[in-house]
Structure 1
Amino acid sequence: MERWIELARSFIGLHEVKGREHNPEILQMWKDIKRGGIKDDETPWCAAFVGAMLERAGIKSSRFEGARSYSSWGEKLAEPADGCVVVFSRDGGGHVGFVVGQDSAGNLLVLGGNQSDAVNVKAFPRSRVTAYRWPAGVPMPIGTLPVRAPAEFSKSEA
């Protein structure tokens, strides 16, 4: 398992704090990607999560707050690979996370931040994918994308 995925898995369950307080771990993720001027956990933070996990694993992220910044980051993949970065379209913007498998119907299982205001694994249809990316210079895993137990479909990434 890739180091950034191990790190990302350790944050499953992390969520935004409702109200005037903000989760300090999410604020640290903004700092990790050199966007420390963002001082809340309501700003869409999927790219901060992906970037922080990459940075903490010693890989330079896009260092940008927009999910679509990952569309040209790293190396392009024609198909998803276990641990790759995946960029999605959504109404009003984009979304980014890590592919950690697929369900039996071929939907992608994505470990990401700001998925229903938390870090979790959700299912996404491949029809929403705009890019699969891999860190430049890092050897890719060999083999097919693993089939895992189904997950609930993502309903909110904003």
Structure 2
Amino acid sequence: MKNLLSVAINEIGVKEIAGSRHSKRILEYAKESGFPWVNDDETPWCSIFMNWVTKKAGLKNSNSAAARSWLNVGESVNNPEPGDVVVYYRGDFNSWQGHVGIFMGFSADGSRIYTLGGNQLDAVSISAYAADKLLGFRRLNPSRKPILPKPILKRGSKGEEVVKLQNILKSLDYAVGTSDGDFGPKTQNALILLQSTEFGREANGVYDEGTKIYINSLLENRS
């Protein structure tokens, strides 16, 4: 499962084309995420971009071009982490209008929310939005049972297998921060907490074959 942030960050700079021409890449977002009826880059595409990114990352999506549809995807969280979904309202609070993107962080005074998304100044970009327009934060879960990473992983390990482990730990409600592929102290501590829930297991923060089997049983029970 690819890192959601990596997928989105790689698209920064894609933008609409002024005039009668349209961005081929934006039209690809629509086609590949299930919106073949979109034939121009002037159709609001923030939710289309989010559907494209989440499908590439193997996460649940809204299958809707409406920004507020994301309020029904994943679980609501009050303490967002980079990579969580953020939804805002536009116009009236009770209207259908909105904007959706990926939470990146708060401004120092908390009045602005830095958001990575599509259709922001007509492009994929990181922009600051007023916090008082917030409708909610959502944390996404894998759209299917994830493929477990190969052991052994431990403090200092890096790469795609670590990203898999971090995403799985987050889906099991263990805080690891950003799924950045770096097995650091947050990932180690989260793994220790998980291991401590299995009777008789040494909670050493190392992802080994026994831990893999235990995590698989937890995922089976949740499915």
Do they fold alike, i.e. is TM over 0.5? yes
Structure 1 segments, 4+ long, off by >4 Å, are: none
Flag the structure with higher helix content.
2
Alignment partner of 1:127 is 2:132: yes
User: Residues 33 and 61 of structure 1 are in contact (CA less than 8 Å); yes or no, is this contact kept in structure 2?
Assistant: no
Q: 1:150 — aligned with what?
A: none
1:143 Cα shift?
5.1
**Residues 5-154 of structure 1: matches in 2 within 5 Å?**
5-91=5-91, 93-106=97-110, 107-137=112-142, 138=167, 139-140=169-170, 141-142=175-176
Given the two structures, how large is their TM-score scaled by the length of structure 2?
A: 0.60
The gaps in structure 1 that reach 5 residues or longer are 145-158
Q: 1:151 — aligned with what?
A: none
Question: What amino acid sits opposite 1:96 in the alignment?
Answer: V
1:104 Cα shift?
1.2
User: Residues 60 and 73 of structure 2 are in contact (CA less than 8 Å); yes or no, is this contact kept in structure 1?
Assistant: no
The alignment partner of 2:137 has SS state of strand
Given the two structures, how large is their TM-score scaled by the length of structure 1?
A: 0.83
Percent same amino acid at aligned positions? Answer: 35
Flag the structure with higher strand content.
1
Q: Given the superposition, is the C-alpha separation of residues 11 and 143 from structure 1 closer, same or farther in structure 2, using an over 3 Å criterion?
A: closer
CA distance in 2, matches of 1:59, 1:88: 21
Number of residue pairs aligned between Structure 1 and Structure 2: 143
**Larger Rg computed on CA atoms:** 2
